Chain A
Amino acid sequence: MVVKKQELQEVEQVVIRFAGDSGDGMQTIGERFSESAIFAGNDIATFPDFPAEIRAPAGTLPGVSGYQIQFGSQEILTPGDAPDALVAMNPAALKTNLDALTDKGLLIVNEGAFTAANLKKASYESNPLDDEKLYEKYRVVKVDINTMTDKALEDTPLKPAGKAKCRNFFALGFVLWIYGRDLDVTMKWISEKWSGKELIIESNTSVLKAGYYFGETTEVGLTRYTVAKAPVENGTYRKITGSEAMVLGIVAASKKCDRNIVIGSYPITPATSILEGLAKLKNYGVKIVQAEDEIAAIGIALGAAFTGALAVTTTSGPGICLKSEFMGLACITELPLLVIDVQRGGPSTGLPTKTEQSDLLQVLFGRNGESPMPVVAASSPGDCFYATFEAIRIALKYRTPVVLLSDGYIANGAEPWQVPIAKDLPSIKIEEAPIDSDYIPYKRDPETLARQLAFPGDLGNQHRLGGLEKNHAGDVSYNPENHQEMTDIRAAKIAGISNDYDPLEIMGKKKGRVLIIGWGGTYGSIATAVGNLIHQGAPIGYVHLRHINPLPNDLGDIIKKYDYVLIPELNNGQLDMIIRSKYLVDTIGLNKVQGKPFTVAELESKIRSLL
């Protein structure tokens, strides 16, 4: 074979999607590729996309697992709309992902998996690789990864099933070659991951190299690409997912409020990773009770809040349904409690592994009675840290349950994140009532309206809380005027939280044609789209809401400065309903519930239509 040195063509950003069977290790190679990109100095954003079933039947359409990454030399805020390159490990992966690939995109297929049986499982009538149109539309590289992997492992004692497990590294090696990355990062990872298992280390490493050398020594006639380093502020960085960031946010807040963490949670996709992350931090004093159900989980957390812990419960939409009665109790007893809702597609079981923003109205209003509750939403994986810290700050300062919204997309997605300096994080410690002090449970701070707290064990401050309406002294009261007054006070207390907020930041024009209002995990897509249009001179502004309840005091004035207000949401118009009713403005919604984030293209096109 002729060794041909190909030139590397420089591009600003690239989107790659790895797709294969859920047993093929696509998440693994996706993660490995992300790390190579990070170590090469690129900015990245990732989107793991896996099926709800742990192992759907191998080779079938529901069993396809994917991992998309965008990496670039500029700031990268989304995993990209459409892949520039698709790696398809079998016919099912090709079928479910091919539509997404850009025209003339690079398609790498594992030819060896295109057997009659696999084609049938993917419901292909004929072999798509025999279709000439495929080659007209895309740049196709057929590689028999199965055979190549077996060949690379000829001399090892690995059984066929073991060899098959190494195939993903062939694909990874080949892709690393295309994008001019070296193998060091991955080889080091392999040797650490399977430390002590020499056979597996050797096998995976030689398959990885085989994939790389395959690119180098074969005349596949490919253009290779390189992506330059992205500009970035000085500091220490790490890669982080939204759920990891929430774990860190909870621990950081616990140190800064000087309370021990008590978690009551029940496993639910996609929130489980937060619970698992916290379970590993026992040496940070984290007490975890994996409860018998969602209701017990919040009950345990509320009991802990009553006893003075930093109390947290984590869940997803269906869990919020079950927790709502306890959220009401937390509201009337005015205890600090963090309720994390990592949203997924609904209603009911819906789409457990897919993203959506359709729990907003539920967390705002899904309780009996007048039970206002602050709602904070995280906007990106790294922002999950700060959003968590802020939600806990509010819960403690105002003695209230707070709902913190994340979603499947930012919970699992990863991005590089500048590590905060622990010492610089502000204290969020609150004062409790002095002991033996004629304690009155509903005596309030005149400014914040927060009631004073005392905890079991405090001498002389014995008191009783409960779900019945109380008067100021803390005694049960059915008096009509008292109920009116207490309801009004609880509402005023929550409404006053917005006085703490910093002014909203407007991206783009301070007044103009269109104001885009976003919230939660859509930040990356909207900011990219808005950034592109602003660059082209579009008279638009964008605000992204961290606080959904109460809304920022300055939002009303900002809204008045634009002709149109566009609210893109991954639901059927929930924030839209709130903004319309609060500001009496004829907003325009951009709504989508496909279990997928917005593409930059669809956002740009909608905004353009209003210019």
Chain B
Amino acid sequence: MTESVKLSKKDFVAPADVRWCPGCGDYSILNALQKTLPEIGIQRENIVVVSGIGCSSRFPYYMNTYGFHTIHGRAPTVATGVKVTNPDLSVWMITGDGDALSIGGNHFMHLMRRNVDINVLLFNNEIYGLTKGQYSPTSEQGTKTKTSPMGSIDHPINPISLALAAEATFVARTSDGNPKHMNQILKAAASHKGCSFVEILQNCVIFNDKTFEDFLGRSVRDDNTLVLEEGKPLIFGKDRDKGVKYSSKGMEMVNIGEDGITLDDIVVHDPRNAPPGLTYAISRLRHPEAPVPMGVFKSVENRSVFEDMLVAQIDEATKAKGEGDLQKLLTGNGSWDVYEGKKSDRSTVTRIHDFASSEEQTIMSELEKGENAIASDPLLGALNNTIETMLAETETFPIATVSSEESLDVAIKLLLEKKIGCLPVIEDGKVLGILSERDITLKVMMKNIDLEFTPVSAIMSKDPTVLNTQNTVSHAISAMSAGSFRHLPVTDEEGNLQIVSVKGLMRYMSQKAKS
């Protein structure tokens, strides 16, 4: 996260011209979010606004943050990808009634149930605006549009009920005509840890003008809306004399003071602990039978957030198995080394370790088993290490080299002096041969050889096997066992020469066994 700078509303205004119809409710929502974000205090570069397709989905272009205007109905998927990749980001998803509930109904549900920490703002105007006025999945039955000249026969969906059914952890409703309420709700949504769903009733001036006027209009809204406030009774009406009673009969609109009804009979709103049935019943309240609830229906943080659990599993796996090593993964648990000097057959195939089990039709199981086996068995793990790793982890001894023309007595003196068992014979940077104690024992002792006048080249073992430090330890062992070598020259990328000895190998393996 970058350093926090105090920002204002204008910092969130992007250079692009806003192209909604004059009088569109989207303007007030854009204003509300641009005003709210600086109050929340998140820096612009850490905010991502993701949208689908529709009038509302042009929103990201107008926000001076990161933004992604995606495809119809699929914003939840892209938003999930963003959040999962970088959980530190504040992700806002802008959608509409068609985008979220029609073409994107599937993703909407899964975003809620997964509880990805994303703030979803659904602009509900009960109409398709961008395609110029067809009924949407939230349009009232009987809505007459160009595709429903006799009135739509589709039963509308209630976005709040749907979000509750999908087990969203934060569910709220506000409207474009009440910036103050919008500001409160947006702040509550932002501070909620988990997926926050906000339905914003939004007026489409062109194709569905004043559709919410019957209950949101200034003169009627006190009687026809129910403001949900935590810890307060569900009362409404200009004179605050009407309330909601919840009994086995369901929701009843009652007049306080009539028929023995007192304030005690009225439901107290509890978005954190209310039983799901009650919250759902509140979501079903509709105009004109009942006032339309506005505010936070549900706000619980009793469920873990998706991306946190994803990261936790990675941490857990890393702790248990260690950070993944690419070479070990590539080599796997069923590898074998092929080494054969110059002959091209598998005469010395050495079995290092057996194949891991592989279930019927479950071809991939080897991978994990390999990981486990290596994690649990230090010796198996050590075999798969590179020679470079081994040399780095064990004490190494200085090496000395001779040229092929050097006389044997000089070479032998060098061996004794350095207390080493072999001398690589070097010519032009290449290993021409190896002069080992064994060569001296077998080819010099008991034979009448003049040490002073015999060059090293006469008795050295020619064309020795030279491995790379990136080869595995097991590769080295098989090469040594195949050739009965006690010393094996290895070179690294730069061509530097080192020696792997039987002694060194034993020391390394015993060190690993102890660990």
Q: Which residues of A contact B (CB under 8 A)?
A: 25, 27-28, 31, 35, 38-39, 41, 48, 50, 185, 188-189, 192-193, 229-241, 243-244, 247-248, 251-252, 255, 260, 262, 264, 273, 276-277, 280-289, 291-293, 295-309, 311, 325-326, 329, 333, 412, 414, 419-424, 455-468, 475-476
Looking at the assembled complex, report how far the CB atom of B228 sits from the nearest CB atom of chain A, in whole angstroms: 30
Q: Are B81 and A285 in contact (CB under 8 A)?
A: no
28-73 of chain B: CB within 8 A of chain A = 43-48, 50, 53, 60-61, 63-71
Looking at the assembled complex, report how far the CB atom of A414 sits from the nearest CB atom of chain B, in whole angstroms: 8
Interface string of B272-299 (1 = CB under 8 A from A): 0000000000000000000000000000
Q: Are B330 and A307 in contact (CB under 8 A)?
A: no
A227 to B48, CA, bound (A): 62
* Contact of B398 with A by CB under 8 A: no
Q: Which residue of B lies closest to A310 (CB)?
A: B85
Contacting residues, chain B, for A247 (C-beta < 8 A) = 364, 367
Interface string of B333-350 (1 = CB under 8 A from A): 011111110001111010
Contacting residues, chain A, for B354 (C-beta < 8 A) = 185, 188-189, 192
With A48-B361, A457-B2 given, name 5 new contacts (CB 8 A): A300-B84, A421-B468, A456-B66, A464-B67, A476-B16
A60 to B137, CA, bound (A): 48
* Contact of B239 with A by CB under 8 A: no
- 10 shortest A-B CB distances, which residue pairs? A303-B81, A299-B77, A466-B69, A284-B324, A282-B317, A464-B67, A303-B78, A41-B346, A307-B85, A280-B368
CB contact under 8 A between A306 and B68, given known A280-B371, A458-B45: yes
Q: Which residue of A lies closest to B474 (CB)?
A: A236
Contacting residues, chain B, for A283 (C-beta < 8 A) = 314, 317-318, 320-324, 371
Q: Which of B50, B66, B313, B334 has the largest count of A CB atoms less than 10 A from its CB?
A: B66
A293 to B106, CA, bound (A): 9
Q: Are A237 and B330 in contact (CB under 8 A)?
A: no
* Contact of B428 with A by CB under 8 A: no
Q: Quick one: which of B16, B310, B335, B363 contacts A244, CB cutoff 8 A? A: B363
A418 to B41, CA, bound (A): 54
Q: Are A229 and B339 in contact (CB under 8 A)?
A: no
A293 to B109, CA, bound (A): 12
Looking at the assembled complex, report how far the CB atom of A53 sits from the nearest CB atom of chain B, in whole angstroms: 12
Q: Which residue of B lies closest to A35 (CB)?
A: B355
Looking at the assembled complex, report how far the CB atom of A305 sits from the nearest CB atom of chain B, in whole angstroms: 8
Q: Are A465 and B67 in contact (CB under 8 A)?
A: yes
Q: Are B364 and A273 in contact (CB under 8 A)?
A: yes
Contacting residues, chain B, for A291 (C-beta < 8 A) = 77, 110
Looking at the assembled complex, report how far the CB atom of B392 sits from the nearest CB atom of chain A, in whole angstroms: 14
Looking at the assembled complex, report how far the CB atom of B349 sits from the nearest CB atom of chain A, in whole angstroms: 5
Q: Quick one: which of B66, B83, B331, B470 contacts A464, CB cutoff 8 A? A: B66
A468 to B470, CA, bound (A): 49
A461 to B471, CA, bound (A): 44
Q: Are A462 and B65 in contact (CB under 8 A)?
A: yes
CB contact under 8 A between A309 and B85, given known A229-B345, A237-B335, A421-B327: yes
Q: Which residue of B lies closest to A26 (CB)?
A: B360
A289 to B309, CA, bound (A): 11
A234 to B339, CA, bound (A): 5
Q: Quick one: which of A185, A311, A422 contacts B81, CB cutoff 8 A? A: A311
A224 to B63, CA, bound (A): 77
CB contact under 8 A between A241 and B363, given known A231-B345, A302-B78: yes
Contacting residues, chain B, for A255 (C-beta < 8 A) = 326
Contacting residues, chain B, for A280 (C-beta < 8 A) = 364, 367-368, 371
Q: Which residue of B lies closest to A464 (CB)?
A: B67
Q: Are A456 and B367 in contact (CB under 8 A)?
A: no
Q: Quick one: which of B16, B81, B107 contacts A306, CB cutoff 8 A? A: B81
Q: Are B44 and A462 in contact (CB under 8 A)?
A: yes
Q: Are A189 and B355 in contact (CB under 8 A)?
A: yes
CB contact under 8 A between A252 and B326, given known A237-B336, A306-B81: yes
* Contact of B102 with A by CB under 8 A: no
Q: Are B89 and A456 in contact (CB under 8 A)?
A: yes
Contacting residues, chain A, for B74 (C-beta < 8 A) = 295-296, 299, 326
Q: Which of B86, B322, B330, B349 has the largest count of A CB atoms less than 10 A from its CB?
A: B330
CB contact under 8 A between A465 and B68, given known A232-B338, A421-B470: yes
Q: Are A229 and B85 in contact (CB under 8 A)?
A: no
Q: Which residues of B contact A (CB under 8 A)?
A: 1-2, 14, 16, 43-48, 50, 53, 60-61, 63-71, 74, 76-86, 88-89, 106-107, 109-110, 310, 313-314, 316-318, 320-324, 326-327, 329-332, 334-340, 344-347, 349, 351, 354-364, 366-368, 371, 468, 470-472, 474-475, 493
Looking at the assembled complex, report how far the CB atom of B92 sits from the nearest CB atom of chain A, in whole angstroms: 12
Looking at the assembled complex, report how far the CB atom of B141 sits from the nearest CB atom of chain A, in whole angstroms: 29
CB contact under 8 A between A39 and B80, given known A192-B357, A280-B367: no
Contacting residues, chain A, for B338 (C-beta < 8 A) = 232-237
Q: Are A462 and B64 in contact (CB under 8 A)?
A: yes
Q: Are A466 and B346 in contact (CB under 8 A)?
A: no
Looking at the assembled complex, report how far the CB atom of A233 sits from the nearest CB atom of chain B, in whole angstroms: 7
Q: Are B88 and A457 in contact (CB under 8 A)?
A: yes
CB contact under 8 A between A304 and B84, given known A232-B338, A283-B371: yes
A609 to B113, CA, bound (A): 62
Q: Are A282 and B45 in contact (CB under 8 A)?
A: no
Contacting residues, chain A, for B66 (C-beta < 8 A) = 456, 462-464
Q: Which residue of A lies closest to B321 (CB)?
A: A283
Q: Which of A188, A240, A252, A304 has the largest count of B CB atoms less than 10 A from its CB?
A: A304
Q: Are B45 and A236 in contact (CB under 8 A)?
A: no
Q: Are B310 and A287 in contact (CB under 8 A)?
A: yes
Q: Quick one: which of A38, A237, A239, A462 contacts B337, CB cutoff 8 A? A: A237
Q: Are A25 and B84 in contact (CB under 8 A)?
A: no
CB contact under 8 A between A306 and B82, given known A31-B358, A296-B107: yes
Q: Which of B50, B89, B339, B346 has the largest count of A CB atoms less than 10 A from its CB?
A: B346
Q: Are B360 and A27 in contact (CB under 8 A)?
A: yes
A552 to B301, CA, bound (A): 56
CB contact under 8 A between A281 and B84, given known A264-B77, A326-B74, A467-B70: no
7 contacts between A and B (CB under 8 A): A185-B355, A232-B338, A244-B364, A264-B77, A284-B329, A289-B310, A291-B77
Q: Are A456 and B327 in contact (CB under 8 A)?
A: no
Contacting residues, chain A, for B65 (C-beta < 8 A) = 462
Q: Are B60 and A464 in contact (CB under 8 A)?
A: yes
Q: Are A303 and B50 in contact (CB under 8 A)?
A: yes
Q: Which residue of B lies closest to A48 (CB)?
A: B361
Looking at the assembled complex, report how far the CB atom of A401 sits from the nearest CB atom of chain B, in whole angstroms: 14
Q: Are B364 and A277 in contact (CB under 8 A)?
A: yes
Q: Are A457 and B69 in contact (CB under 8 A)?
A: no
Q: Quick one: which of A239, A244, A289, A457 contacts B86, CB cutoff 8 A? A: A457
Contacting residues, chain B, for A463 (C-beta < 8 A) = 66-67
Q: Are A260 and B334 in contact (CB under 8 A)?
A: no
A300 to B50, CA, bound (A): 12
Looking at the assembled complex, report how far the CB atom of A31 sits from the nearest CB atom of chain B, in whole angstroms: 5
Q: Which residue of B lies closest to A385 (CB)?
A: B330
CB contact under 8 A between A457 and B77, given known A237-B337, A292-B107, A325-B71: no
Q: Are B334 and A239 in contact (CB under 8 A)?
A: yes
Q: Are B86 and A308 in contact (CB under 8 A)?
A: yes
Contacting residues, chain A, for B86 (C-beta < 8 A) = 307-308, 455-457
Contacting residues, chain B, for A244 (C-beta < 8 A) = 363-364, 366-367
Looking at the assembled complex, report how far the CB atom of A93 sits from the nearest CB atom of chain B, in whole angstroms: 16
Contacting residues, chain B, for A235 (C-beta < 8 A) = 337-338, 475
Q: Are A456 and B46 in contact (CB under 8 A)?
A: yes
Q: Quick one: which of A27, A248, A277, A423 contacts B361, CB cutoff 8 A? A: A27
A476 to B472, CA, bound (A): 55
A234 to B347, CA, bound (A): 11
Q: Are A238 and B318 in contact (CB under 8 A)?
A: no
Looking at the assembled complex, report how far the CB atom of A30 sits from the nearest CB atom of chain B, in whole angstroms: 9
Looking at the assembled complex, report how far the CB atom of B350 sits from the nearest CB atom of chain A, in whole angstroms: 10
A233 to B65, CA, bound (A): 55
Q: Quick one: which of A28, A292, A305 contacts B106, CB cutoff 8 A? A: A292
Contacting residues, chain B, for A35 (C-beta < 8 A) = 334, 355
